[in-house]
Amino acid sequence: MSSDQDHLRETDSEARFEFKKEESSAFRAEKGDLDEETIRLISEDKDEPEWMLERRLRALRQFHAMPMPTDWPGQPDLSEVDIGQIVPYIRPDIDTRGGVDDWTDLPEEIQDTFDKLGIPEAEKNALSGVGAQYESEIVYQNMQERWEEKGVVFCDMDKAVQEHEELVKEHFMTNCVPASDNKFAALHGAIWSGGSFVYVPEDVTVEMPIQAYFRMNSEGMGQFEHTLIIAEENSEVHYIEGCSAPQYSEFNLHSGGVEVFVGENAHVQYSTVQNWSKNTYNLNTKRAICEREGTMEWISGSMGSKATMLYPSTILKGRGATDNHITIAFAGEGQNIDTGAKVYHNAPDTKSTIESKSISKDGGRTNYRGLVHISDGAENSSTSVECDALMFDNESTSDTMPYMEIEESKVDVAHEATVGKIGDEDVFYLQSRGLDDDDAKQMIVAGFIEPITEELPIEYAVELNRLIELEMEGSLG
Amino acid sequence: MARLELRNLHAQVAEGGEKILDGVDLEVRSGEIHALMGPNGSGKSTTAKVIAGHPAYEVTDGEVLVHLDEEEFEDIEIPEDMRTVNLLDLEPNERAALGVFLGFQYPAEIEGVTMVNFLRTALNAKLEEREELFEDDEGEEAEADADDEDAGYDTSPMEGDVEEGDVGVAEFQEIMAEKMDQLDMDTEFAQRYLNAGFSGGEKKQNEVLQAAILEPSIAVLDEIDSGLDIDRLQDVSNGINALRDEQGAGILQITHYQRILDYVEPDHVHVMLDGKIAKSGGAELAHQLEDEGYDWVREEAYETA
């Protein structure tokens, strides 16, 4: 076989998600060491200020005090989640504390990893900034100077603790996602590591999406990255995160935290396409607080994982604030994707829309779990929730649990849910035009998720479609 | 030139359901227009669906044959022993690749799939399938290797894989614009989702547009005239005539009414009753049916039986 063909086989997209690298790490907290000592070690290794250590330790106590969630109707089974089996923190064996500026300065194996995921191409295609996280640290980032001149900050979260201490101290897990929010937010608060920090000053519009890519590469490790986005008055930013994890026999836990502060009349879009290995438990807490006339948009594609529990939420705090959610979930054999959205209308004239789509096949289970809360006094608020489920077969399941808590009478509330099997008539129609059975189904699914793909930059749309194609062929295993 | 031949076709609803076709014999050649008429429930739509391979029906006896000429498709020479094909052995998409098109009475609505992307994908799929159906073993291996080397998309995922020999985006847009113009369709249709939110008339127009683009040898059009106003009926009829006159397609026009036959004049008219062709004749037969209904055909059929 020629070397060209070798190359083609190597870049075969199926292989992109299956390979893994020999782990080489400089610092590794031992499995099961989830005690104060470990937390102190992590904090010390990162050279953190005292207040951050205190927050970590308080979160650890809260984590140990809280029970596992077990009593939600239809919730994923978490009985196999054994925190003692998780390696909470790994730092790659390179000196990348502040990130490197040039792609070619990265070790070859890391370049190679990202190469298979197509990141250099994305970079080549004139994306404005890339921050890529390998294991728990940001190892590469590239930001255009003109943003820096305008005061925009985009760096890894550990660096932000050092260089933007006041901003972080004020916003980090204080009033948006406190560690006390839920057991996994508490776990996250104790052992978080890495992630992104974005700060956009007043009146600044960042025209191109800011992107970060996370990847888990070590067996049995947990990943606990924190994303903090602060958009000041009249600013605008689109943040995109992509995730992918290779397959392992041992289970993994991902428990990220995302906090977004949308200032008055500001506009933040947070988009993510995540594909976790089939043994990952994906338990995240993501929340935004939206001030007067501000707009928050969540776009998310959840693929892979054994179980996902994820309900991005927005608190519409100021008058006239708006929130839009578009989510998509795909569950195959043995998977339970429990996802949805939460919106709190706490001020008058606030608006929200939730559009949720799910696909299940081969006995996979998807749930839409949503909450819309309209407080007393949130007059003239409106919400619209739309859930569509598409199933491939009779073994798959999909449930819709749209909770609505309406305390104000002058509001407009709409909810619509559809559940359907991929229609034989639809497939036949496309087949009669020349598409084979698989291509016909693929086209129907691609159309079904189109509202998501049209919101994403082309590279992410390609990846999402490719992932779903692979899932449908069953080649991701 | 192709010829579609139904021989003693018997069919029932799949998995032992009701028997619907009871020995249909029918022949349609490229360049001819046939009208298939008959009362509701006589088996007209079932005939169309069985020809196209709808999974809801099971063929219990008979054959659906396509006879092809050696130069039926551009660039592909059809070996002598492959010029007659039994469609019942083939998947629906393979039947489409051989040039059999079904125009639906109630076409599916597919959200999120634009007309232009869908039709380009379909056209390319059909061209590729044709090659696969007729090439020798050596060619198949080469094709399989080529498939292995296709590592993803060159352009947009919504536009599908780009392979050598495919009709490209720009080229296809030209083809589509031209055909839409012929059918008096607004160019904005190209970017709309396949049949989603289309009016009844728009859907019918769209079926004819698809036939014009996919260039079938034989087009079976199932009640393409139902629900059309007079202007739309004329557009659709012009499209059907063009299929025959410009592309040389054979048309099997299923209809209840004489109305469309004023615009699309049939060479042959067949009356279907109780799952068989009870009577065949020329264009004048349709007029007679319009005036006198189907009862006399029934009486005649049962007398001779």
- State the SS3 of A69-136: CCCCCCCCCCCCCCHHHCECCEEECCCCCCCECCHHHCCHHHHHHHHHCCHHHHHHCCCCEEEEEECC
pLDDT on residue A212: 65
Q: What is the mean pLDDT of residues B23-45?
A: 95
User: How far lies B3's CA from each of B69, B98, B126, B249, B278, in Å?
Assistant: 9, 11, 19, 10, 21
Q: How many residues does chain B have?
A: 305
Inter-chain residue contact A428 with B92, CB threshold 8 Å: yes
Give the three-state DSSP class for A13. helix
- Asked if residue B269 has pLDDT above 80, the reply is yes
Nearest to B157 among A424, A429, A465 (CB): A465
Which residues in chain B have their CB less than 8 angstroms from residue A453's CB? 157-158
Mutate to test the interface with B, among A433, A443, A462, A475 (most CBs of B within 10 A): A433
Q: A20 burial class (0-12, 13-18, 19+ CB within 10 angstroms)? A: middle
The first and second tokens of residue B192, run together, are 């709309």
pLDDT on residue A9: 39
Give the H or E element holding residue B287. helix B283-292
The strand ranges marked E within B100-180 are 100-103
- Asked if residue B237 has pLDDT above 60, the reply is yes
pLDDT on residue A143: 55
Q: What are the φ and ψ backbone dihedral angles of A265, each rounded to 5 degrees?
A: 60, 20
Q: Please count the residue pairs, one from chain A and one from chain B, whose beta carbons lie less than 8 angstroms apart.
A: 112
Inter-chain residue contact B53 with A430, CB threshold 8 Å: no
DSSP state of A163: H
Nearest to B110 among A13, A447, A461 (CB): A447
- Residue A360 and residue A333 in contact, taking contact as beta carbons nearer than 8 Å: no
pLDDT on residue B213: 95
DSSP state of A444: H
- What is the nearest CA distance from B266 to chain A, expressed in angstroms? 25
Nearest to B113 among A447, A451, A458 (CB): A447
Question: For residue B11, what are the β-bridge partners?
Answer: B21, B59
The rounded distance, in Å, linking the Cα atoms of B186 and B190 is: 8
Nearest to B149 among A8, A434, A447 (CB): A8
Phi-psi region of B43 (alpha: psi -120 to 50; beta: other; left: phi over 0): left
Q: Which of A143-157, A459-473, B2-16, B36-50 has the lowest mean pLDDT?
A: A459-473
- Which 5-44 residues of chain A touch chain B by CB within 8 A? 5, 8, 11-13
Divide the 477 residues of chain A into consecutive groups of 10 and give the mean pLDDT of each group: 41 41 54 78 91 96 89 84 65 42 53 50 34 41 69 88 96 95 93 89 88 48 81 95 49 86 97 79 94 96 87 97 94 92 97 94 92 96 93 88 93 88 89 93 89 76 74 55
The model's pTM is 0.75
Q: Which of A450-454, B40-44, B179-183 has the lowest mean pLDDT?
A: A450-454
Q: What are the φ and ψ backbone dihedral angles of A72, each rounded to 5 degrees?
A: -80, 140
Inter-chain residue contact A428 with B152, CB threshold 8 Å: no
Helix H segments across A370-457? 424-431, 437-448, 450-453
Which residues in chain A have their CB less than 8 angstroms from residue B101's CB? 432
**Does A458 contact chain B (CB < 8 Å)?**
yes
- Asked if residue B16 has pLDDT above 60, the reply is yes
What ipTM was assigned to the predicted interfaces of this complex?
A: 0.91
pLDDT on residue A103: 54
**Does B118 contact chain A (CB < 8 Å)?**
yes
The rounded distance, in Å, linking the Cα atoms of A72 and A437 is: 38
Inter-chain residue contact B96 with A450, CB threshold 8 Å: no
**Does B125 contact chain A (CB < 8 Å)?**
yes
Which residues in chain B have their CB less than 8 angstroms from residue A122's CB? none
User: How far lies A78's CA from each of A71, A189, A283, A340, A360, in Å?
Assistant: 11, 20, 10, 18, 20
Inter-chain residue contact A429 with B110, CB threshold 8 Å: yes
Strand pairing report for A153-156 and A295-304: unpaired
- Which 367-426 residues of chain A touch chain B by CB within 8 A? 423-426
Q: Which of A259, A324, A315 is nearest to A296 (CA)?
A: A324
**Does B122 contact chain A (CB < 8 Å)?**
yes
The first and second tokens of residue B106, run together, are 């109630």
Which residue has better confidence, A279 or B119? B119
Which residue has better confidence, B227 or B288? B288
Which residue has better confidence, B139 or B268? B268
Give the H or E element holding residue A280. strand A280-283
Q: How many residues does chain A have?
A: 477
Find the angle CA(A185)-CA(A189)-CA(A190) to the nearest 5 degrees: 120
Inter-chain residue contact A444 with B113, CB threshold 8 Å: yes
B194-200 — which CB contacts under 8 Å span 24+ positions? B194/A447, B194/B108, B194/B109, B194/B110, B194/B113, B194/B114, B194/B115, B194/B118, B195/B107, B195/B108, B195/B109, B195/B110, B196/B109, B196/B110, B196/B111, B197/B109, B198/B109, B200/B226, B200/B227, B200/B228
Which residue of chain B is at minimal alpha-carbon distance from A427? Answer: B108
The rounded distance, in Å, linking the Cα atoms of B239 and B209 is: 8
Question: For residue A388, what are the β-bridge partners?
Answer: A357, A418
Q: Which of A299, A340, A339, A291 is nearest to A315 (CA)?
A: A291
Cβ count within 10 A of residue B136: 8
pLDDT on residue A218: 41
Nearest to A428 among B54, B111, B148 (CB): B54
Q: Which of A26-30, B38-42, B56-60 has the lowest mean pLDDT?
A: A26-30
pLDDT on residue B1: 80
